[in-house]
Structure 1
Amino acid sequence: MYTPDEWEEFIREWATALAEDYFQIKRLGGAGDKGADIAAFKTDRQFEGPWDCFQAKHYKEPLGYAVAAAEMLKVFTSVIDGAYCLPESYQFLAPRGLSTPFNMMVSKPTTLRNKFLDRLVEGDALVKGLDNVMLGAVQDLAAVTDFAMFRSVEVLDALDTHSRTRWHAARFATALPARADGEIPPEQYMPAEARYLQQLLAVYVERAPDKITTLDSVAGVPKLGRHLQRQRVSFFRAESLKAYSAGAVPPGTFEKLQEDIHAGVVDVAEGDHTDGYARLGQVLAQVGSLDLSRHKLIDVADMDDRKGVCHQLANDDRLTWVEEA
C-alpha cells in the first residue's frame, strides 16, 4: 500500500500521460496547498489561467461525500481568497475509489451541487469557522458553478493510463515496453557526432599516418573503414537507447547507466597502451564484461549499446583514445 506521499507522486506521474497537453504539472500537496494536491496548468499563466486539479485522497476506505465536501469547500474559499481561479476540472483519485453514494452523486452534477448548497447554511459542521461574508460568497459562487467539474478517476483507468508513462516499469517492476530497431547511421556525418569521430580519426591517423588524413580517407584502409562503420552503428544505437529512455524510464536513468559505464572503463582508458587503437579496443572489450544488471535499461540493451555509450562519453571528452602530446 502506498503512503500518502507516494500516492500523490503516482498521480503526478499519471497526469503526464493524459491526453491534455499541459504546460506544467506541479505536485503541491501538503500544508498550505489550498486543496490543490496536483495542479496541471494548461498555459504559462498557471493558476491565473485554465488548469485542472487532481486531488489525492489516500484512505483505507472508499472516499465518501462528507470528506469530499470539505475539500470542495476549500476550492471555493481559495478562489474567493484569490489563491487561484476556478479549475476547469477537479478530479478525485482514491486508492479505494469513491463510496457508491458519492460516486452516484458525482455522476449527477446537478444533484451534487444541490447537496452541497444544502450544507452551506449557518450552523452546519461543513461551514464551521466561516464568517457570514465568506459563507455568502461561497453560496453565490457555488450556485453558478457547473459541478460537472467534480469528477472521479477509477483506479483501473488510472493504472491503464499510468502504464503509458516513463515511470510505470520502475514503479511496478514490469517489463519495459518494446524498443524499436536502432537508427541506421546516415551516410553523411552529423554535427552531433563530430567530437567522437574526431577522436576516432586520431586513432586511425596514428595507425596509418601515410594513408589517412581525413575521415573520408579511412575507407581507403578497408579494415579501418569497417571499424569506423561499426563504431558509428554503436554510437547511433546508444543514441536510440537514450531517446527510448525518455519515454520508458524515469528521468536520469540513462545518465546513471552512462556514469556506471564510465566508472567501469575509465581506468582502462587511462592505462598504458601501445596506441589509441589498442586503448579503444581494450575499453570496448571491458564494457562488454561490466555487470550492469542493476540498470533497468540493460533489459533492452545489447553490446552495441554498451559500446555506443563509450563513444557518447568520448563525444563529451570524458574518454580519450589518443593522448595529446
Structure 2
Amino acid sequence: MAPTTPAGRLMPPKQVLYVYSPDEWEEFVYEWARALGEPYVNVEILGGSNDGGIDVAAFLSQEGLRGQWDCYQCKHYKSGLIWSQAWPEIFKVIRWVAEGRYTMPRRYRFVAPRGCGKALARTLQDPPQLKTDFLRELTSEATVIKETPDDVLARITDLAKKTDFSIFKSENIDDVIDVHGKTREHIARFGTPLKTRPEVGVVPEYDASQESRYVGQLLEVYRDSYSKDIVTVDDAMGNPRARFHLARQREYFFSAESLRLFARDSVPAGTFEGLQDDVHVGVFETYARDYPNSMDRLTSVLEKSTSLALNGNVLLMMTKPRDTMGICHQLANENRLKWRGEWSDDDSTE
C-alpha cells in the first residue's frame, strides 16, 4: 500500500523518498537509472563496504568497470548534500582509478532526495572551481588524506589535474521522479494512478503456437455439446453454434492478453501473475464440482470468474469481466484448468 498522510491522502513522492532507508534509496536509484533511456547493457547496485565510491553502476559495454560506464552515487541525508560530504566521494573514485581498479566513469552523478546545498550546487556547476577546490583538499589535514600513502596521493593528484571535472554533477530530484514515473515500479512505490490501458483491438487470426492448448480443450467441449465431427478449428468455424462460441472465447483470451501486456510495462513484475492466481483460487471450487457435461463446467467457471470478490491487486481498476474470463482460458492454456473430463490432483491450486 502506498504511504498516505494522516488525512488519508497519498504522500507526494518527494516526501516518500525523504523517509527511505539508504538501501531503499539505492533500489530506487537503480530503478531510475534503468529508465534513463541510455544504451546500458547492465545496471547494478554495488554499494556497500569497500565499494570504491560506487553505489549504482551503469555499464555501456560488456567490459563493465574496465569499459565505459556511469556512476550514480546515492546519498540520503536529512538535509542537502554539502561539500564536506561530496569531495571525499570524488576522492574515492579518483583514487580507485589512479590505482587501476577501474576506468574513469563517463559521468559521475550525486543523487540525493534533498539535492545539494546551495554552495555545493554552485560549485558543481563550475568544473574549474570544482577542480581547484578538490586539489586544495588534497593538501589538507583531512583524515582521509593523512591516511593515504604519499606515493598514492601523488598519483591521485596527478590524475585529478588531468581529469575533466565536468563529469561530476548532481541530479535534480524532480527530474529523477519524472523519469522514474516511466517504470513499472513507480505505482507500487507512490500509489499514483495507472496510465490509460490501450484498447484491445481486433482479435488476430488463430495462432496454434499461442492458443492450441485452450482452443484444443474448447474443441473437445464442442464435440461433447455440438457435434462429434468437430476436430479442428476449421470444423468449429463450420458449425454455427461453435463458431459463435469460439469467437467469444478468443475475444476473452486476447482481452486478458492485452491486460498482461499492459501490466508488463506498467506495474511491478508478478502483479499480473498474482491476479491470475487469485482468479484460479476464486474459481477452483466451482471448477472442481461434478457436472453433467463439459460445457456446463466451462460456463459455470466463466460466470464465476466475473463475480469474484477480488481485492488487493492494483490491476483491478483496469480489469473487466471479459478479462477474468480470458484469464480462465490463460489458465487452461497453462493446463491449470481443464474444460473436459474429471479434475485431478494435477489441476490443484498449488
What TM-score does the superposition give when structure 1 sets the normalisation length? 0.95
In the alignment, structure 1 residue 65 sits paired with structure 2 residue 83: yes
75-84 vs 31-40, which deviates more?
75-84
2:260 to 242, 267, 271: 242
Within a 5 Å distance, the mapping from 1:138-177 to structure 2 comes to: 138-177=156-195
2:152 to 128, 134, 157: 134
Deviations 1:181-229 (A, max 9, x none): 1142213434111111111111111112334222112133323211111
In the alignment, structure 1 residue 120 sits paired with structure 2 residue 120: no
In the alignment, structure 1 residue 25 sits paired with structure 2 residue 50: no
Aligned residue type for 1:261: V
Q: Secondary structure of 1:40's partner? A: strand
The alpha carbon displacement at 1:122 in A equals 6.1
Partner in structure 1 of residue 15 of structure 2: none
Partner in structure 1 of residue 233 of structure 2: 215
Deviations 1:3-43 (A, max 9, x none): 11111111111112212021111122222322111111112
In the alignment, structure 1 residue 229 sits paired with structure 2 residue 229: no
Give, in whole Å, the separation in 2 of the partners of 1:33 and 1:231. 55
Deviations 1:219-250 (A, max 9, x none): 33323211111111111111111111121111
1:44 to 62, 68, 80: 62
Give the number of equivalent residue pairs: 325
The alpha carbon displacement at 1:125 in A equals 3.7
Runs of at least 5 residues in structure 2 that lack an aligned partner in the other structure: 1-18, 344-350
Give the direction of change, closer, same or farther, for the CA distance of 1:270–1:204 in structure 2 (3 Å limit): same
Runs of at least 5 residues in structure 1 that lack an aligned partner in the other structure: none
Aligned residues of 1:119 and 1:126 also touching (Cα < 8 A): no
Aligned residues of 1:264 and 1:290 also touching (Cα < 8 A): yes
The alpha carbon displacement at 1:118 in A equals 1.3
Deviations 1:253-299 (A, max 9, x none): 11111111112222322321122211111111111122222100111
2:330 to 292, 300, 312: 312
Aligned residue type for 1:13: E
Give the fraction of aligned pairs with identical amino acids, expressed as a percent: 41
Partner in structure 2 of residue 197 of structure 1: 215
Aligned residues of 2:226 and 2:241 also touching (Cα < 8 A): no
Q: Secondary structure of 2:304's partner? A: helix
Deviations 1:141-164 (A, max 9, x none): 111111111111011111111111
Partner in structure 2 of residue 258 of structure 1: 276
Give, in whole Å, the separation in 1 of the partners of 2:146 and 2:201. 64
What TM-score does the superposition give when structure 2 sets the normalisation length? 0.89
Aligned residue type for 1:34: G
Q: Secondary structure of 1:289's partner? A: coil
Aligned residue type for 1:89: R
2:115 to 97, 103, 106: 97
